[in-house]
A and B are shown apart, each in its own frame.
Chain A
């Protein structure tokens, strides 16, 4: 295995263009590569590029560098307030040691069903900042999930708009409370205007290759006032509409129940706060 540590984004892109694998925290890649990568494998360590390690808060948005660790992210006061779902998602990944190494960009690039940040990023309408030979690009997270990462690009960060009145929450189910493998995760974001739910966004993950939005359930909520029956309807609709195609245990039936239970819990808590 060859190890490159570029000092500029351009060098990184050059390395990746030659087939190099971007390496940030390493929590997933290192165990995979340490005893198996052949001589022709190249890793490009982007974990120390200063440009990828910044968190920039402007008055109505935040830019989080791709190499920002989950621990740093979840300690950020503005994010705790305006992007609660993302912070809650980051806090459920692995355990404290893992969160000090694992990065935002890595979680997006993983492309595994249980990547915990994705549902949160989806409900927060996050945009993904990319860098390639053609320069910078900004894509909605949804586009990346749908179409995959464009070739030869590097994730440099994410951008989330702050909405003063938006609330968001995240919940993960795993057999164990630390180092838990995600069975199901759910996220919700919405605004309350004049006692009505506006722009509700719901997602569930861990069920298929990618987490997905839950439009039918969102429709139930949109423009309505909180009530227990409304929450119940939305939770049931979500459980029914979500696509489940992972075949490993637990069974689909149980996973759908968790989607309903998770959203019911999140929405109930949001209705009371």
Chain B
């Protein structure tokens, strides 16, 4: 019998062949022991409930969830982690190569756990069909990929297939598969204090009093901080356009997402106890939890500027007259529920001091923005804060606005000790940022032959308690309200409304997804009421031309949309037979959705191309890897540009991240502090002015609003253009500050342009140098994969390595490139409408599904998608992005829903928030790509990150409509909704 004193136990384990013996608190889970104590960081954590599988290890040869075991339970047993699979299993090596060749992972957070399950199944599974593989992997959630490529790779490994040749292998993924990369929550510092947050108890209340004395007296508690402990400004990281969201609540809470206090303690238990002992007296107020309720004149005003905090219109023609000519008018209200990003890595990170520098390892798209927010709250100089954010375990837009870094920084500053603060899944679901829920009232007028005459719509987003990035979402609502269709008369009113729900953040397809759902639903309803085939009514009304952000008309939209719909119909083929007793439904969707930003805001993407004395190329930037493939995408562009044999390594330049002036990636001289500060000031004024204008104009009625916009258009365009010009010309440095960067499917467009610019400048410099070395003129020289040679004499050559050696003292030849958003107008002076996003992507989806009318169960039988991606730069990356988006969209159509009652989230974990498993999503999703070459990205490529997620919910919803004969007007559609509608 084992019995130890002080509630400690001695545990002996063999891990990956290594014997380990340690005395640990009895409560330590196996995952905590492996990951935190023994530093097997590949044993990750995503839920603590045995749903996500990120913590899977082999225990005596069998995959188990290590978060569901106390380490003591595994005493004396043998463990293999993902890093020990080569000895513990027989096929791990080949499996890894197949996975890499298919780019089967994106953010990679789930990869190690997935690998454990897959490698075990290859050895032990009696059945190696795709269905059996899916079953074996059903305890491992992947949020990025949609599982298809993982299943394919596992099946190919079993079949002993050769690894398909890949021109430029994804070396950035290798580290995710062999367990060597680190995510923010892996950067676990020894003896770090445990940070915990006290959240608001009420969605709306006054705070009478906060008493932390009792909590502070608990042994092991090192700090209890509230709003009183903020040395600088009490502002969270969400305040991009409007500064309304406090880091800590002071005298009022407006949502359950409000933070009252944070604690740091020596143990989890002490931290939890301290949270329980903070006494907060509230005076609860009636919460407003619905957009329509918030719009009532007598509704409580949530913010200082009223409940409508953002408004845009899109007005064209004469809707009233057009409706009078219509043969049919269809009306309906559609809704999208609250969704969570459900990144597999939980939100959190660590902070510590290095000398007097505060180091923060956190998830962030824009490390600079996070640091700026911390500096503002802590009243510190930015140079004294270092943000490490090389990659994220999923984001999907979540980390465009951030907040935990502020709490972490305050705790580290106060305790002078390392602190680790990671939200648990219940907090992530119940308190952290959510997607904007949507309500849209639609009225569509048509002729008998199906030609659209007029669309009137009032579309609204629930912004939650603070403005956050809502204006960006609302702007998209207005511009994209008519979807992929030419509608001559439009009257669209788009509004962002405050409620006491959780704070919102953009999520994959932000704006585009909700608004595409709305228009596609009303179009479907019109088709069914007129008895016209849904594909025919779409084709009759497709946009004849699209307009990009420079205001240019691109005439081929109709051609593209037609082609994508044709492909979808062709691939769907004849209608399949549903199982006996089930009903079949076929649904279609066409989208014309943004990539890139709507505004003419100018921000700067930078990249650096370099070669060292060994002839090794690197591509550097300050962009973190959220799994979108941008890191390898940039490197591949360089490989292609120079015809290199090996793809350069992508390096996130920490020096560039550390330099708040952005000088390292600049072409000019080092800016003075004054000049850098001026740049910052101008940029801040630009965003805050936009936010302020939105707040003021949101109070106007639609008619007055559009008149004001018409009047404002020339000065706004002039102001924006001059600011852009000033920023580009006078400040050729400075990475972005408040505008999030990797977002809105624009990474390839922007980073691609920056890296190609760098490559061009690099080539120019290299040729000049080579011309001197070879004693000839530049026009006699040519670039090849290995260096530069003379056109007519191949023996006269200089290699990249030699060029680097000649390049001054550092021995590196390098060039910096940059890209800016196109300088376009924001508003059309003639109409007052917005000009819109820089560009759009066209695509169509089709879905055949079976519904059981008795139980409401849904099985997707076939799913096809066709997109114009502009140019295929990397087929597997594009396929992975689209597949992952489709599965996320299917999840949002059928499963995912944050259930809220009275402003309080009712679900607690991944048992309740239903991220689809490998068994819940269709297999064999077919994706066809079209290359119009018309994108704004490198070689005419378009952004694809969001498109799959935008279209998929529509195809599923329309297929359900077809099967049931009734249109369900809200997603997600649960089996219960289906049964009730019949």
State the A residues within 8 Å of B (CB).
1-7, 11, 23, 25-27, 30-31, 33-39, 43, 45, 47, 71, 94-98, 100-101, 173, 175-179, 181, 249-251, 253-254, 257-258, 260-262, 264
Contact = CB atoms under 8 A, between A and B. Distances in A.
Interface string B22-34: 0001111100100
Interface size class of B (residues with CB under 8 A): 35 or more
B980 A31 contact: no
Given A96-B117, A176-B919, 5 more contacts: A34-B29, A95-B50, A179-B138, A260-B854, A261-B852
A94 B911 CA distance: 9
B914 A176 contact: yes
A75 to B, nearest CB: 10
Given A5-B2, A178-B919, A258-B855, A30 B976 contact: no
A3 B135 contact: no
Contacts of A31: 48-50, 67-68
29 contacts: A1-B26, A1-B27, A3-B26, A4-B3, A5-B72, A26-B70, A27-B50, A31-B50, A35-B268, A36-B269, A45-B70, A94-B139, A95-B138, A97-B65, A97-B139, A98-B50, A100-B62, A100-B64, A101-B69, A175-B914, A176-B919, A179-B51, A181-B912, A250-B974, A250-B975, A251-B976, A254-B979, A258-B855, A261-B855
B462 to A, nearest CB: 21
Contacts of A71: 62
B324 to A, nearest CB: 44
Contacts of A39: 7
Nearest to B62: A100
Interface of B: 1-4, 7, 9, 25-29, 32, 48-51, 53, 56, 62-65, 67-70, 72-73, 75, 117, 135-136, 138-139, 268-269, 272, 852, 854-857, 895, 899, 910-912, 914, 916-920, 974-976, 979-980
A181 B75 CA distance: 31
A200 B2 CA distance: 48
Contacts of A264: 854
A144 to B, nearest CB: 25
Given A176-B914, A176-B917, A177-B920, A250 B855 contact: no
Contacts of B136: 96
Contacts of B70: 3, 23, 26, 30, 34, 43, 45
A190 B778 CA distance: 90
Contacts of A249: 899, 976
B855 A97 contact: no
Given A94-B139, A97-B63, A250-B976, A6 B7 contact: no
B117 A97 contact: yes
Nearest to B853: A261
Contacts of B3: 2, 4
A37 B273 CA distance: 11
B69 A26 contact: yes
Contacts of B117: 96-97
Nearest to B581: A265
B68 A26 contact: yes
Contacts of B138: 95-96, 177-179
Given A5-B72, A39-B7, A101-B64, A33 B27 contact: yes
B9 A178 contact: no
A184 to B, nearest CB: 9
B917 A95 contact: yes
A207 to B, nearest CB: 14
A29 B51 CA distance: 15
Contacts of A254: 856, 975-976, 979-980
Nearest to A30: B68
A4 B2 CA distance: 6
Dominant SS at the B interface? loop
A26 B73 contact: yes
Contacts of B65: 27, 97-98, 101
Contacts of B56: 97
Contact of A173 (B27, B28, B855, B917): B855
B139 A3 contact: no
Contact of A257 (B7, B854, B911): B854
A157 B265 CA distance: 43
Nearest to A35: B268
Contact of A94 (B2, B28, B50, B975): B50
Which 7 residue pairs across A and B have the least CB separation, nearest first? A95-B139, A178-B138, A3-B26, A177-B919, A178-B917, A261-B854, A250-B976
A214 B82 CA distance: 48
Contacts of B268: 34-35
Contacts of B29: 30, 34
Contact of A179 (B25, B67, B854, B910): B910
A6 B72 CA distance: 13
B68 A96 contact: no
A200 B370 CA distance: 65
A39 B220 CA distance: 15
A67 to B, nearest CB: 11
A34 B48 CA distance: 10
Contacts of B64: 97, 100-101
Of the candidates B26, B48, B136, B920, the one having the most CB atoms from chain A within 10 angstroms of its own CB is B26
B433 to A, nearest CB: 24
A25 B64 CA distance: 11
Nearest to A75: B126
A34 B47 CA distance: 13
B358 to A, nearest CB: 27
Nearest to B916: A176
Nearest to B27: A1
Given A5-B75, A95-B50, A100-B64, A34 B2 contact: no
Contacts of A173: 855, 857, 975
Contacts of B51: 94-95, 179
B974 A179 contact: no
Contact of B139 (A38, A98, A257): A98
A95 B139 CA distance: 5
A98 B68 contact: yes
A96 B63 contact: yes
A3 B62 CA distance: 24
Contact of A30 (B69, B856, B857, B918): B69
Contacts of B68: 25-27, 30-31, 97-98, 101
A5 B1 contact: yes
A11 B1 contact: yes
B7 A2 contact: yes
A72 to B, nearest CB: 10
A216 to B, nearest CB: 20
A111 B149 CA distance: 40
B27 A35 contact: yes
B110 to A, nearest CB: 13
Of the candidates A11, A39, A97, the one having the most CB atoms from chain B within 10 angstroms of its own CB is A97
B53 A95 contact: yes
Given A97-B64, A257-B854, A3 B9 contact: yes
A110 to B, nearest CB: 14
Contacts of B856: 254
Contacts of A5: 1-2, 72, 75
A71 B121 CA distance: 14
B203 to A, nearest CB: 20
Contacts of B852: 261
A71 B4 CA distance: 32
B163 to A, nearest CB: 27
B1 A34 contact: no
Given A5-B72, A26-B73, A35-B27, A97 B53 contact: yes
A60 B537 CA distance: 67
B50 A177 contact: no
B379 to A, nearest CB: 34
Given A94-B50, A179-B139, A254-B979, A45 B73 contact: yes
Contacts of B67: 30-31
Given A31-B48, A95-B53, A175-B895, A3 B2 contact: yes
A39 B27 CA distance: 10
